[in-house]
Structure 1
Amino acid sequence: MQLAFIKCHGSGNDFPLIDARGLALSDAEWAGIARGLADRDGPVGGDGLLLLTDGDDPAAFGMRMFNSDGSEAETCLNGLRCTARLGFELLGIDGALVGLKTSAADVAREAALAPGVATVRTTVGPASVSAADVGLTNGIDSVIDAPIAGLPTERAFTAVAMPNPHLVTFVEHVDEDELVALGNWCEAGPALIPARANVSFVEQRGPTDLYVRTFERGVGLTNSCGSAMAASVLAAGLTGRVPFGRDVRVFNKGGLVRGRADVARNVTISGNATFLYDASIEVDPATGVAQSLLIHARRDDEARAWESALAELA
């Protein structure tokens, strides 16, 4: 089947984005499409597949996100900004409540981070600090800046559900080999956390600057993960590293966002929603094979604006 999509990115987290309203496909078919379109060795590539869906009142529209392995995530905040922008443009609105897999988020257009950079604000929460909600099966109530028995590391973690599960640890320096090893351990679905989890190593680079590196569930080591950045902002507040209510700059390999957490565990993230090109492609949902990519229009001005913004904001 042939599908139209927009290639987009939020803070370097890149996706094909499909207006799926009115497309009657099964979850298995969408999973196959995600594997085909998000395959880094295929014609498109991405960290996953975004779907703009119809909303259930009071949500103006919805979002679904499938990882590159075909699994469905509860949320994706970098992808949410891009999906929200498309929803705004198609519906002629500037803000909305968006329905997610197991929750909802408030989204709104925001003043540009830099000239030419489309910017969207997302607010999610309250996030849960229940260990059970994060998927830990060891019977503890919560984990705040503490080691987790059974995890193959003695590092102290903070476990939060955004609502997708995150294990966040603050480090002096990010060791990617250590992060990947721990991420792969979690990815195997061990008894301690059978539904897997996103794992983030976070450097605090000043009173209100964080650098986040994430092994994303269903994806692997990624340049950016929006919900991980939100989880890191919340973890910084929960552990007293950054006061609640304080604006935080969150950096990653893909760029940066601005974040803020409050004592009620709500997290606001503002960042880019950059559209790179409009295209269509032939994809077989059953086999996950994508081919015959046709690019209709490139949005090079947006790509250049983001690159310029990175040079100035960083």
Structure 2
Amino acid sequence: MRIAFTKCHGSGNDFALIDARADDLAEADWAGIARSLADRAGPVGSDGLLLLTAGDAACAFGMRMFNADGSEAETCLNGLRCVARAGFAALGGDRAAVRLKTSVAQVAMADPLAPGVVTIRETVGPASLDAARWPLIGATQIVEAPVPNLPSARAFTALAMPNPHLVSFVEAVDDAELSALGDVCEAAPDWLPNRANVSFIQQRGGDLFVRTFERGVGLTNACGSAMAAATFAAGLTGRVRFGEPLTVFNAGGLVRAEASADGMVTLCGNATFEWVGSAEIDVARGLAGDLVIERWHNDEIAAWGAAVDQLT
């Protein structure tokens, strides 16, 4: 089948975005399309697939997100900003409630982070400290403590945003160590059957740098829900004050963030459209081919590059 999509990113976390409001494909088809478009060895390459879906009585529109391995995530906050932008363009308006897999988020257009950078504000939560619901076997709540069965003596905080996260504050980020711990969780052991995102967080004054091994993807330039989890965890552990804005940096750029004691987190970041195109998808084999790029958004690409140089 031939699939039309927009290539986009939030803070360097990149996706193929499809307007699926009128589509009725089977779950296996969406999983295959995600694997095809996310394949870094293929013509597109991305961290996952975003779907703009139809709304309901409570929400103007919805979002679904499939990881690079075809699994569906509860949410994706960098992707949500891109879907929100597409939803506003399709339906009009500049703010909305959005239906996610297991929750609802609030989104709105915001003042640009930098000239030419389309910026969306998103509010999600509340964060949950009930690790037993993931499930994380052998623990009910973990705050600044080692994770049972994880081969690491580091102190982690376990929370759902609503997808599961293990976050640890470190002096320096070690990608090899993070990848090794991420691989343990990615194997879906008996004590963590639904896997988890694993992040190392480096405090930089009143700001944070977050590096994440994302469930179903691996090391990413950015993970929006991990940045939200890190912001809340920093407040929970007294590293920052709840209610005070901060900047969360990552390999792909940055977002502005703020968490409150009730578990709600607001992120403000870019929703950059890079190009619009289409590709032939072999769903069964998880392969994409015959990519046609119809329009480049060169001005947005340049604006984001300038913003990263200026702000990071």
Give the shorter-chain TM-score range: over 0.9
Counterparts of 1:265 and 1:309, CA distance in 2? 29
SS of structure 2 residue aligned to 1:211: strand
% same residue: 63
- After superposing the two structures, state which structure 1 stretch, 145-154 or 66-75, moved more: 145-154
Counterparts of 2:80 and 2:57, CA distance in 1? 18
Counterparts of 1:249 and 1:289, CA distance in 2? 38
SS of structure 2 residue aligned to 1:297: strand
Amino acid across the alignment from 1:212: V
Structure 1 residue 152 corresponds to structure 2 residue 151:
yes
| Gap runs ≥5 in structure 1 | none
- After superposing the two structures, state which structure 1 stretch, 117-126 or 148-157, moved more: 148-157
Counterparts of 2:171 and 2:159, CA distance in 1? 21
Amino acid across the alignment from 1:171: V
Instruction: Summarize deviations over 1:126-163 as a string: whole Å, max 9, x none.
Output: 1111011342111x321111112221001000001011
Counterparts of 1:36 and 1:77, CA distance in 2? 22
Quote how far apart the aligned CAs of 1:216 are. Answer: 0.3
Q: What's the Cα RMSD here?
A: 0.8
Structure 1 residue 87 corresponds to structure 2 residue 87:
yes
Counterparts of 1:269 and 1:169, CA distance in 2? 20
- Name the structure 1 match of 2:103: 103
For residue 297 of structure 1, the aligned residue among 289, 295, 301 is 295
TM-score, length-scaled by structure 1: 0.98
Quote how far apart the aligned CAs of 1:8 are. Answer: 0.2
Write the mapping of 1:220-299 to structure 2, written as runs, cut at 5 A: 220-299=218-297
Write the mapping of 1:122-161 to structure 2, written as runs, cut at 5 A: 122-138=122-138, 140-161=139-160
SS of structure 2 residue aligned to 1:167: strand
Amino acid across the alignment from 2:308: L
- Name the structure 1 match of 2:188: 189
- After superposing the two structures, state which structure 1 stretch, 99-108 or 188-197, moved more: 188-197
- Name the structure 2 match of 1:31: 31
- Name the structure 2 match of 1:214: 212
Quote how far apart the aligned CAs of 1:192 are. Answer: 1.8
SS of structure 2 residue aligned to 1:84: helix
Quote how far apart the aligned CAs of 1:52 are. Answer: 0.3
Amino acid across the alignment from 2:246: V
Counterparts of 1:30 and 1:179, CA distance in 2? 29
SS of structure 1 residue aligned to 2:16: strand
Instruction: Summarize deviations over 1:180-237 as a string: whole Å, max 9, x none.
Output: 000000100112211100000000011x210000000000011110000000001101
TM-score, length-scaled by structure 2: 0.99
Structure 1 residue 179 corresponds to structure 2 residue 178:
yes
- Name the structure 2 match of 1:114: 114
| Gap runs ≥5 in structure 2 | none
Quote how far apart the aligned CAs of 1:248 are. Answer: 1.2
Quote how far apart the aligned CAs of 1:108 are. Answer: 0.3
May I ask how many residue pairs the two structures share in their alignment?
312
Counterparts of 1:262 and 1:145, CA distance in 2? 19
- Name the structure 1 match of 2:307: 309
Quote how far apart the aligned CAs of 1:120 are. Answer: 0.2
Amino acid across the alignment from 2:11: S
